[in-house]
């Protein structure tokens, strides 16, 4: 087989009639180089078959780490339709940001936070701010209050990735939680405790953001598939009496819930029943008395940083022709409050 010759950045520079430094800046999308020049350099590099050297990219990442994060290249962490106060106070969102920040620092980058809902902020204005600050990588936060996301963003100027599985228009690279696998693990663990009739309480909007994967896995892997659909409750009813009546009719030996507010409301409305296990699909330390799935969104966010950095290295900007989705299954947590074995 004939080995393809390696095209260097120096050859691209000679073909463009520019310095090596200017071509390097252009390929990394630096705004000190005009947009027309960046476009011309990208076209020449593509026509010559130029590919970044992964060893050099690794060396540069090492140099950035040695300099310390304060001097490293910046990646924008954009809080999408999330108030600054919520991003600061919500434990889940802090876990997400801390995981992303740690991974960025490991790779020699720093995260700079921005909020789409800040007073006077428009999507296009945010694009202009990022370009003015020479920030080429953008990491978007999970969305908390919607199913589909649309931003009027200048996509072609940036290397982007999304944390979470909400639908984006246009679609970008995603790093998210593997809801389907997590539900299967949950049902398997409940089965080991002898649970044969688990029920599922789903928040409708969260279920949609997760592409209905929880619901699908519950229906497929339920120990009694014919009864599974009737054991799904789409949101808690309007009163404790209604919830208790539903539980009396369905007689579940386990109840699977999502986030902690839903869990605590269920616990307040439904008295504990002997042998009935309650577990959380988004386990957190404040739910340590229950078993459930720790979604490990710190790792999800870290992988999203990797998606951005890989695009920065290869100068892949704009909306990807085929978007990638990387899913993490999470980790089962054995809450001390769960019985060793529920009665069959």
pLDDT for 344: 32
CB atoms within 10 A of CB 115: 19
Strand partners, 138: 76, 160
Alpha-carbon distance of 268 to 258, in angstroms, equals: 15
- pLDDT tens for the chain, 344 residues: list them: 455 677 888 888 888 898 888 888 888 777 678 888 888 888 898 888 887 765 455 555 555 555 544 445 899 999 999 999 999 999 999 999 999 999 999 999 999 999 999 999 999 999 999 999 999 999 999 998 899 999 999 999 999 999 999 999 999 999 999 999 999 999 999 999 999 999 999 988 889 999 999 999 999 999 999 999 999 999 999 999 999 999 999 999 999 998 888 999 999 999 889 989 999 999 999 999 999 999 999 999 999 999 999 999 888 999 999 999 999 989 999 987 444 443 33
pLDDT score recorded for residue 54: 57
pLDDT of residue 268: 96
Task: Report the alpha-carbon distance of residue 138 to residue 148 in Å, rounded.
Answer: 19
* Domains parsed from the chain with CATH numbers: 9-51 (1.10.260), 58-177+298-329 (3.40.50.2300), 179-295 (3.40.50.2300)
What residues have CB less than 8 Å from 297, skipping those under 6 apart? 92, 95, 96, 99, 142, 163, 177
In this predicted structure, what is the pLDDT of residue 66?
54
pLDDT of residue 6: 76
CB 199 within 8 A of CB 246: no
């Amino acid at each position: 087989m004939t080995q393809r010759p390696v095209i260097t950045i120096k050859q691209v520079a000679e073909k463009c009639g520019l310095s090596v430094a200017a071509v390097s800046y252009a390929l990394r999308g630096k705004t000190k180089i005009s947009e027309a020049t960046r476009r011309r350099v990208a076209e020449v590099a593509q026509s010559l078959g130029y590919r970044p050297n992964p060893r050099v990219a690794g060396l540069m990442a090492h140099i950035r780490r040695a300099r310390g994060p304060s001097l490293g290249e910046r990646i924008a962490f954009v809080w999408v339709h999330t108030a600054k106060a919520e991003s600061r106070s919500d434990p889940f969102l802090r876990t997400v940001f801390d995981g992303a920040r740690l991974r960025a620092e490991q790779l020699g980058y720093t995260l700079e936070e921005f909020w789409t809902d800040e007073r006077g902020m428009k999507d296009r204005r945010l694009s202009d701010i990022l370009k003015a600050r020479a920030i080429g990588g953008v990491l978007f936060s999970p969305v908390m209050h919607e199913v589909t996301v649309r931003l009027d963003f200048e996509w072609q100027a940036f290397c982007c990735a999304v944390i979470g599985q909400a639908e984006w228009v246009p679609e970008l690279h995603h790093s998210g939680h593997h809801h389907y696998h997590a539900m299967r693990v949950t049902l398997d663990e409940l089965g080991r405790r002898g649970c044969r009739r688990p029920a599922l309480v789903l928040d409708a909007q969260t279920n949609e953001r997760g592409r209905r994967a929880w619901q699908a896995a519950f229906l497929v892997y339920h120990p009694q598939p014919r009864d599974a659909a009737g054991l799904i409750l789409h949101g808690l009813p309007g009163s404790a009496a209604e919830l208790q009546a539903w539980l009396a009719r369905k007689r579940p030996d386990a109840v699977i819930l999502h986030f902690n507010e839903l869990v605590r409301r269920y616990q307040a409305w439904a008295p504990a029943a002997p042998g009935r296990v309650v577990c959380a699909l988004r386990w957190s330390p404040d739910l340590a008395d229950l078993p459930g799935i720790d979604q490990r969104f710190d790792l999800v966010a870290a992988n999203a940083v990797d998606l951005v950095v890989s695009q920065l290295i290869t100068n892949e900007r704009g909306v990807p022709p085929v978007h990638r989705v990387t899913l993490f299954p999470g980790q089962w947590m054995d809450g001390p409050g769960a019985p060793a074995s529920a009665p069959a």
